[in-house]
A and B are shown apart, each in its own frame.
Chain A
Amino acid sequence: MPEDEVLKKKISRRKAISRLAAAAAVVGVGVVAGVGGYFAGASAAGPAQTVTATKTVTETKTVGGPGATATVTVTETAGAATVTKTETVTQTITAPAKTTVTGPPLQFVHWHYRDDIVHSYVQKFEEYYGEKVEEILLANENYGPLIEAKFQAGDKIDMCYGNFFMVTRFIAMGWCRDVETLPQIIQIKAEMYPSIVEAYSTADGKLAGLPYFWSARSVPVVNDVILEKAGMAGERPATWDELWDMSRQIKAAGAAEYPVMPHWFNAFYGIQWDFEAELGNAYDDPDLSKTFVSKDFEPVFDVGTEVAELLKTWQDVVNEGLVDPSVFGQAGDSDHVSAIVTGKYAFCPTAIYYFKVMNDPSQTTIPVGKANLVPVKKQGWGVIDTGLYSWPVNVTDEERSQKLLLFFGWRTPWGERLTATSWAKTDALNSGYTDTIRRADVIAAYREWLGDRTEETLKIMDDIAATMSRPFIYKSPMYLEYANFAFPVLSAVASGTQSVDDGVKTLRDKLVELHKKYHGG
């Protein structure tokens, strides 16, 4: 009988009750099976699984101090070309017999991003260790305040996401710890990009957490359609100054009303991060300690310094009509990306993880192959966008939380770099580990949407990792408070409603106040 006829039929009370009973029985069986499965899963031996891993091997050497060794992968280079040898390793792994985990579930706090994928990682962890993990998802916009409220309330948390500057605060407050006590720490650091180790380390040089991802914000993406219209096909700026000069030519040629959609939206991760990117890139000061805030967290800028010069440039390019002023009314990423994908701009400094969106014909009007990263030549591009797995102090269980941390932030017990590889493949998220981007399966995943631009793009990403801004101020717990204060000031200065000198003084005064508050200066 067709379904609509069934629905139309009047159901008698008896039938309704019997159907309800049947449904209840099915649900009951499901619940019993689920609970049984959980306990069975927790006590029985784990399933055998075949893992195929591809690794890049070039040369290995042993490093480390007394009693500590680590294997480092060194990429062999011949001239300008990188020579890598790729071998595929297939292992059959049988998970060890699992013991029943009797304690309370582990608590994993994270923000919303591809929750389905995160949950699948959690399931793999649970399956392998016979564990139970409770995921606690906090609203993205207020993640920092919300998780700090949990810490203050004394909640047990076994692992949590955090941007580096958040984790700095968590550690300073005594809620989280660095990961230097992990037995594998030398190996872990050796496998990471040196620049990421430096960026993810506290002021006293301790790795604050394990890498979830790194990305760079305010990395210019060029729209070649507009460049072709302006008769500048294939040209690329090597510096921010060159980018503004090219924009002037594009505007003069009538190829775009506003050649640039800057990363200036009204959020600290918008215009504030662009400021950090441009300052570090343009003045060759990646940690911004010479031009902005010293390694003692004191402001080193004033009226007439590089900061003022940069802000003056911003006002000039706004007045020249090189940037779309609607950016000042944008509240966040979604507004910004929605503008970029209209394809109206020649240059769109943005987060690297949105680069995939700009190359996805279902999400952008920019023709395939026409949105490209700008190579690193005379200066770096962008500012680091950080993501870490942080290790709280007040955990459910020391050993169990450590396993969770390593599983997510380093390797699975069978040696697979599970999360980093998956993120790279599914979402083009950059990994803190150098080998991820060199894996054949990751390269193949990039090739699916980048085609023959893959090698060139991955090379640019590697170069960006080494050269982007990595502000030292992130290592101070005062950063978040400063950033939330500063972004409207920068927006007001750039849009011309506040003078450069006023803006510079306002920012400097705030930093002096915060230095006193947080560092007793």
Chain B
Amino acid sequence: MLSDRQLALLLVLPLIFLQFVICIYPIVYSLWLSFYDVRLMARTMRFVGLTNYLKLGADPLFKHSLIISLRFVAETVALIVAISLFAALIMNERIKGKSLLKVAVIMPWALSEFAVAIAARFFLDRNYGFLNAFLKNLGVIQEGINFLTANYAVEWLAIFYAWNVAPIGAYFILSALQTIPEDLYKQAKIDGASAFLRFRAVIFPFISYAVLITAALATILAASSIVLCFALTGGGPGFASLLATLYDFRVFFYNQDFGYGAAISWILLALVMVVVVLYFTLLTRRR
């Protein structure tokens, strides 16, 4: 007869095994790989120490893609927090059709990044896109606008990624909003507090933790995003929207430069970790 502890261990064992096979082993393997120069054609694997990491400093494309990624993440996080907050505040109001609104808000979250890319294409295209057709019908423009230019491709990626991810933040914040006692609102109103003051003094202290969680989650997701960029712009025009994740994917899988690709992914992971640790330091302080 198994003891409770043994039974628990037995039940958890498959999960630990899967976790090891799917996550831990590849992660450790990629770290190991990052110290090697792998040559498929020559079938050689040579230990090169930190050379792959040092190479990064001299790779202009990596630097460029990192800047693009930082821009994308910053814009995406700002948009996600703003949209989430706005949607949560609306959903928290006593308005007609609230249930429908809640469904409408969560719907983009149900889409895969690839589907979002297709939707974005149908929205933005110069020839058959919704936005151009809409503007033309309003008489605002005569000829279609090319929205996915080198200057603005990253911004469009950020907008559509935020649209995809913001619903989950909205629901985080909504759940926090619903913990605010009704009396506090009433009291603030009686005291004559303006809407902004009510938000700052009553609402925000209750939801700040949820907002921070949303920002942390948005950062992690945006920093690891690749599909939207791959399918909507392919990193272009030129290199204009080449995210570091897409660059890493090309180095690793297309060029099959496994050591260098692994080194890029570890640097990206380290950068995300720094930001996440920062978030969680803030979170802990708040609590």
Contact = CB atoms under 8 A, between A and B. Distances in A.
Interface of A: 141-142, 144-145, 148, 152, 172-173, 257, 265-267, 324-326, 328-332, 335, 338-339, 342, 344, 477, 480-481, 484-485, 488-489, 491-493, 495, 497-498, 517-518
B173 interface: no
A331 B124 CA distance: 13
Nearest to A325: B146
A330 B231 CA distance: 9
B275 to A, nearest CB: 27
A23 B150 CA distance: 59
Interface stretch (B13-21, B86-94, B204-212, B233-241): B233-241
A492 B41 contact: no
A492 B238 contact: yes
B201 to A, nearest CB: 46
B102 interface: no
A266 B235 contact: yes
B46 interface: no
Interface in B111-138: 117, 121, 124-128
A263 to B, nearest CB: 14
Interface in B237-260: 237-240, 242, 250, 253-256
Given A326-B126, A339-B127, A497 B235 contact: no
Contacts of A152: 40
A492 B149 CA distance: 11
A213 to B, nearest CB: 23
A21 B236 CA distance: 58
A335 B233 CA distance: 10
Contacts of A329: 124, 146-149, 153, 233, 236-237
A497 B240 contact: yes
A324 B66 CA distance: 29
A517 B233 CA distance: 30
B254 A326 contact: no
A344 B233 CA distance: 22
A498 B231 CA distance: 23
Contacts of A332: 231, 234
Nearest to A480: B254
Interface in B198-225: none
Given A328-B150, A489-B238, A497-B150, A257 B143 contact: yes
A488 B236 contact: yes
Nearest to B122: A338
Contacts of A325: 146, 149
Given A329-B236, A493-B238, 13 more contacts: A145-B253, A172-B41, A328-B236, A331-B230, A332-B231, A332-B234, A339-B127, A481-B255, A485-B255, A492-B237, A495-B237, A495-B238, A497-B150
Contacts of A492: 237-240
A72 to B, nearest CB: 38
A101 to B, nearest CB: 34
B148 A326 contact: yes
Most A-side CB within 10 Å, residue of B124, B147, B150: B150
B236 A481 contact: no
A173 B41 CA distance: 6
Given A173-B41, A326-B126, A338-B125, A495 B235 contact: no
Given A329-B146, A331-B230, A331-B232, A491 B237 contact: yes
B interface bracket (residues with beta carbon within 8 Å of A): 35 or more
B41 A331 contact: no
A145 B127 CA distance: 33
A201 B237 CA distance: 34
A257 B40 CA distance: 49
Given A331-B231, A342-B127, A495-B150, A266 B121 contact: no
A325 B150 CA distance: 10
A38 to B, nearest CB: 33
Given A267-B234, A339-B127, A173 B40 contact: yes
A176 to B, nearest CB: 14
Given A329-B149, A329-B236, A332-B234, A338 B128 contact: yes
Contacts of A339: 125-128
What are the 7 A-B residue pairs with the smallest beta carbon separation, nearest first?
Answer: A329-B148, A492-B238, A328-B237, A266-B236, A266-B234, A331-B234, A145-B253
Contacts of B124: 329
Contacts of A331: 117, 230-234, 236
Nearest to A344: B127
Contacts of A518: 41
11 contacts: A141-B230, A173-B40, A265-B234, A267-B234, A331-B230, A331-B231, A342-B128, A484-B254, A491-B236, A497-B238, A517-B41
Contacts of B254: 144-145, 480-481, 484
A357 to B, nearest CB: 15
A517 B255 CA distance: 11
A148 B240 contact: no
B238 A488 contact: yes
Point out which of A172, A265, A497 has the most chain B C-beta atoms below 10 A from its C-beta: A497
A491 B150 CA distance: 10
A152 B258 CA distance: 13
A434 to B, nearest CB: 35
Nearest to A142: B253
Contacts of A142: 253
Contacts of A342: 127-128
B238 A491 contact: yes
Contact of B41 (A330, A335, A477): A477
A152 B41 CA distance: 12
Contacts of A335: 121, 125
A145 B256 contact: yes
Nearest to A174: B43
A389 to B, nearest CB: 23
Nearest to B148: A329
Contacts of B148: 326, 328-329
Given A267-B234, A497-B240, A498-B238, A326 B150 contact: no
